[in-house]
Amino acid sequence: MDSSVIIGPEALPALAEFLYRPAVSRVFVLVDSNTSRLCLPLLEKHLPTNYHLIEIPAGEEYKTLATCDTVWCQLTEQRADRHAVLVNLGGGVVTDLGGFAAALYKRGIRFVQVPTTLLAQVDASVGGKTGIDFQGYKNQLGVFQAPAAVFIEPGFLQTLDPRQLKSGYAEVLKHWLIADAAAFNVHRRLGWLTDDWTPIIRESVALKQRIVAQDPLESGPRKLLNFGHTVGHALESYLLTQPGREILHGEAVAAGLVCESWLSVQRGLLSAEEMDKIETFVFSVFDKVAFVGLETDAIADLALQDKKNAGAIINCTLLNGIGNGVFDQPVTVAEIAESLRYYHRLQA
C-alpha cells in the first residue's frame, strides 16, 4: 500500500518525469470546476501536450456513481488502455473518486494523486483509500488501492479559502492527538496559522505513512486514524441530508475530536486537564457546529453505519492520554448521543 510521496517544489517536476516515461500510454487529468480554474494552470507545464482533461462539478454531492460513470465514459470513448495514467488534481473528493474510478476501469489503471487541499495533502491522498458516497453514507463504496505516487505541492494551498484550510487542519490535529503529544503542545501554543505549511505536511504525512505501513487494510492500528470520525462522520452525514446545513469534513471531525475526547474522559482514559487543552485548541480554530439538542439521537444513530463497527457494537478510537490513541473501544449509541449533548452544551 506504500506509495512514494514527494513533497515540496520538486513535486510537480517529479510528476512530469513520471508521466513522460515510455510505460505511460496516455495521460488523463481529472479536475473539478475549482481546480480546473485555480490549479490546472500551475500543473499544465508539467503535463504532456496530448493529455485529456476530465472535468467534474466541485462538491461532496458529486462524489457519486453518476460522476464515476462520466469518468469511465470518457476513458472508454478516448480508448484508454491499461497503460494509461489518471492524474487526480484536487481535494479529497477528486482524489478519492478518481482513485476509485481508476481502480475499477479495466480492472485497474495506475493513478497518481496531486492533492490541492490541506485535507487531501495530509490525509486523503495518502494510504490508498478510494471511494464514493452512496445512499447518503460517506465512502460507502470503495476499495483500497495504492496510487502509483503522490505529488504534493504546498503552493496549491494559496488557492484555498481559510474555511477549507481549517478543514484540513482537523486531520493534522487528529494526527498529533493520536500519536504526537509533543507536536500538539508546540502547536497549541503557536496557533494554527503558518506562512509555511511544508514542515507540517511532511510530519503529518510521515506519521500517517508509519501507521498505514503497519496495517494497510485497517484491521488494527490504522483504526487510530479514525479518531474523531465516528461522531464526525455521523454529524457530517446527518447535516448532508439537511439542505443548507452541510458542513465540511474537517469541521465535522473537529466536533468529533471534542466528543470522542469527552468519551475518553468518561472511560477514565483522559484527564479533565487534557480535555480542556483539546477543547481550547479546537475552539481556537473552529466554530461550534450548530445542531439542536433534539437532533442528537438521530445523529448518534448514524454512527451505527460506520464501517469500523462489528454488528451493533460501535468501535471507536479513544485517547489514552494526548498522543496515545487506542482503537476498538466499544461505545453505545446512547454514549455517542451523550457526547453530542455535552458538545451542544459547550459555550464556544
Judged by beta carbon, residue 47 or residue 120, the one nearer ligand GLY is 120
Separation CA 110–CA 102 (nearest Å)? 7
DSSP assigned state of 332: -
Question: Which CA distances in Å does 78 have to 53, 71, 132, 211, 264?
Answer: 11, 11, 23, 38, 52
131 binds ligand GLY (CB under 6 A): no
Task: Find the largest Cα–Cα distance for the chain.
Answer: 60
Which listed range, 64-72, 123-131, 137-145, 183-191, lies at the site for ligand GLY (CB under 6 A)?
Answer: 123-131
Q: Which one among 32, 96, 123, 133 touches ligand GLY, defined by CB under 6 A? A: 123
251 binds ligand GLY (CB under 6 A): no
Separation CA 321–CA 142 (nearest Å)? 32
Q: Which one among 110, 222, 249, 308 touches ligand GLY, defined by CB under 6 A? A: 222
Active-site pick, 153, 171, 260, 338: 171
Residue 58 phi, psi dihedral angles, 5° rounding: -80, 145
Whole-number minimum distance, CB 80 to ligand GLY, in Å? 27
Per CB under 6 A, contacts with ligand GLY among 13-72 are none
CB atoms within 10 A of CB 202: 16
3-state secondary structure of 43: helix
Q: Is 251 a catalytic residue?
A: no
Using CB positions, name the residue nearest to ligand GLY: 225
Q: Is 203 a catalytic residue?
A: no
Residue 205 phi, psi dihedral angles, 5° rounding: -65, -40
Residues near ligand GLY (CB under 6 A), total? 5
Whole-number minimum distance, CB 225 to ligand GLY, in Å? 4
Whole-number minimum distance, CB 127 to ligand GLY, in Å? 4
3-state secondary structure of 286: coil
Judged by beta carbon, residue 131 or residue 154, the one nearer ligand GLY is 131
308 binds ligand GLY (CB under 6 A): no
Judged by beta carbon, residue 226 or residue 296, the one nearer ligand GLY is 226
Q: Is 226 a catalytic residue?
A: yes
For the record, the C-alpha cell of 34 comes out as 475549482
The set of long-range contacts for 274-279, using a CB threshold of 8 Å and a minimum separation of 24, is 274/319, 274/321, 274/322, 277/188, 277/322, 278/177, 278/322, 279/346
Q: Is 10 a catalytic residue?
A: no
Per CB under 6 A, contacts with ligand GLY among 148-167 are none
Which listed range, 54-62, 105-113, 121-129, 140-148, lies at the site for ligand GLY (CB under 6 A)?
Answer: 121-129
Sole residue written with cell 505536511: 201
Q: Is 210 a catalytic residue?
A: no
Q: Which one among 46, 129, 175, 249 touches ligand GLY, defined by CB under 6 A? A: 129
Which listed range, 57-65, 84-92, 122-130, 133-141, lies at the site for ligand GLY (CB under 6 A)?
Answer: 122-130
Q: Is 187 a catalytic residue?
A: no
Separation CA 163–CA 161 (nearest Å)? 5
225 binds ligand GLY (CB under 6 A): yes
Active-site pick, 187, 222, 223, 308: 222
127 binds ligand GLY (CB under 6 A): yes
User: DSSP per residue over 226-281, as a string?
Assistant: GTTHHHHHHHHHHHHTSTT----HHHHHHHHHHHHHHHHHHTTSS-HHHHHHHHHH
Separation CA 151–CA 87 (nearest Å)? 10
Separation CA 162–CA 4 (nearest Å)? 29
Catalytic residues, which ones? 107, 129, 171, 208, 218, 222, 226, 229, 233, 249
Q: Which residues bind ligand GLY (CB under 6 A)?
A: 123, 127, 129, 222, 225
